[in-house]
Chains A and B, each alone.
Chain A
Amino acid sequence: SQCSAILSFSFQQRIEIHKLRQGDNLILGFSIGGGIDQDPTQNPFSEDKTDKGIYVTRVTEGGPAEVAGLQIGDKIMQVNGWDMTMVTHDQARKRLTKRNEEVVRLLVTRQSLQKAVQQSMMS
């Protein structure tokens, strides 16, 4: 587990999303699921079914998130420096949709990345 902790720390991706203005709202173009107040067993993207982190469940086509490189199934670790691994669903939503921020910088981790590195480390 020590090995995997090091791996997940190293293989995270930083994604910068520029919000798109639609009428009165600033949208990012993806949907989130998860949170410490949610049921982690129903999360289809998490590898560990007790993981209560925030995951990306949908990415709108052509939206700012897709343009920035966010993929479905990503786990959001930080948003603009704020930790997202132990927040409620609503707190996560609030942190992403602050009205005065035009750019959000996400730190995400991806299973496909982790697995690829693990395999290359093993061989």
Chain B
Amino acid sequence: MSTAMDTESTYSGYSHYSGHSKKAHRQGRDRHKSPRSKDGSRSEKSVTIQTPPAEPLLGNDASRAEEGQDDNWGETTTAITGTSEHSISQEDIARISKDLEDSVGLDCKRYLGLTVAAVLGLLVFLTPIAFILLPQILWRDDLEPCGTVCEGLFISVAFKLLILLIGTWALFFRQPKADMPRVFVFRALLLVLIFLFVFSYWLFYGVRILDSKDTNYQGIVQYAVSLVDALLFIHYLAIVLLELRQLQPMFTVKVVRSTDGESRYYSLGHLSIQRAALVVLENYYKDFTVYNPALLTASKSRAAKHMAGLKVYNVDGPGNNASGQSRAMIAAAARRRDSSHNELYYEEADHERRVKKRRARLVVAVEEAFTHIKRLQAEEQQKAPGEMMDPREAAQAIFPSMARALQKYLRTTRQQQYHSMESILQHLSFCITNNMTPKAFLERYLNPGPTLQYDRDRWFSKQWTLVSEEAVTSGLQDGIVFVLKCLDFSLVVNVKKIPFIKLSEEFIDPKSHKFVLRLQSETSV
């Protein structure tokens, strides 16, 4: 079984390159997008959704999925920031066709932030050492001798610096997970605070100690120790602001996917909108079933059929009242006694029956196939060297007996694009190696899984745009709604505050549990 590459592409008229054409892919995508994205500036306050004219979507979807070998959509990055409050959508950028330059711009911004932080960190770390060493270097002879006390202080400075180093490494030295549209406010605040702090210390040091060549070395060392102590407290502040504050859940967010209504709830603490969006996206990849465009076509065609066959004739004159016409059409369609609900019911019942039948055949075929394989124990391996196979070969040997049933099942549930023959073979050999039962092998195919389970090409969701009325660095509040858009669908996120819970206690004496019989006797007299 192989996923047939649909060579007859309906976008051949648009493509300028042959073969994988990312521009055609993009233009093909744009064709299906609403016309509202044509204007350069978008208002977040109103969303107009215009459905495209009825087209045969089934064939297009299949071919579109085969086509994409998009290297450009390879990373999970969000769109760049403009100078305005609102984020620009990915389509506009594609339209300007500056993808490469933009991605370089993003990296520069990220690395700039990192270098600034690194330089500042190094400076901060070396400052106490400089405070201690500079008097020794510059006016060693004038310094008062300072014996045990200073040595004790040196040890404490050393250890505190070591702890600070380890703490900073643990807290800050991490791979950045994501690219955010706006700067992380708390982190920026902390950097500014540290900078001001160290700057003021240097100022004091320069004026009072270097200029006047203070001879009280113990005082100087104690000054350095106080700096290190203060840095440790700033580190504590950093932990509280960056890590601890958002741990306690304060909000429940409901995330709904716009195409099929799949929804989930998550608990979040005090986060800014962009960080909350990040959490939602991280959970999206593991919780939501994968987006399958093939499953969405049915409702559109049903709706189109419902409205089709109605035509408006304007009898009274040449007036072109478009909204009146459409309202008349909607009213007529609503009154029309058609049996589309009947159709839907029978279609769904039929589909379910078919799926169940195919599933039963598949399960039986796989179970039978697995019985052909037996694991050789260590001693047996010596005896029969000729017939031994490694897991890959074993998988290839039993695959043909289940291939047809599996292919039919995947076609019925419209998952065939998500599994190539190679991936199935790999999974089969993986299951054989790990002693999995047929049911464990089939778990991946019987139900659509989360997006992470599949190949990156099939994700349909790699670059996200955050659409929000509030500033994305402002904190979450009750009632905020923001939308995470990717090209094919969007996730609508609704934030609700967790209610204030009034809990009171009540004591029930264990001896107070008493019962009585409730009878209804009947006596004959």
Contact = CB atoms under 8 A, between A and B. Distances in A.
Interface of A: 27-28, 30-35, 37-39, 42-43, 57-58, 60, 89, 93, 96-97
B523 A32 contact: yes
A58 B523 CA distance: 10
Contact of B525 (A34, A37, A43, A96): A96
Secondary structure type dominating chain B contacts: loop
B503 interface: no
Contacts of A32: 522-525
A89 B525 contact: no
Interface in B466-525: 518-525
A39 B525 contact: no
Most buried by A among B518, B519, B523, B525: B525
A58 B524 contact: yes
Interface of B: 518-525
A39 B519 contact: yes
12 contacts: A27-B525, A30-B524, A30-B525, A31-B523, A33-B522, A39-B519, A39-B520, A58-B524, A89-B521, A89-B523, A93-B525, A96-B525
Contact of B520 (A27, A28, A38, A96): A38
B522 A57 contact: yes
A83 B443 CA distance: 75
Contacts of B519: 37-39, 89
Contacts, number: 41
A84 B523 CA distance: 15
Contacts of A43: 520
Contacts of B524: 27, 30-32, 58, 60
Nearest to B517: A39
Contacts of B518: 38-39, 42
Nearest to B520: A42
Nearest to B524: A31
A67 to B, nearest CB: 15
A93 B520 contact: no
Contacts of A97: 525
B307 to A, nearest CB: 57
Given A27-B524, A32-B523, A38-B520, 17 more contacts: A27-B525, A28-B525, A30-B524, A32-B525, A33-B522, A33-B523, A34-B520, A37-B519, A38-B518, A38-B521, A39-B518, A42-B518, A43-B520, A89-B523, A93-B523, A93-B525, A97-B525
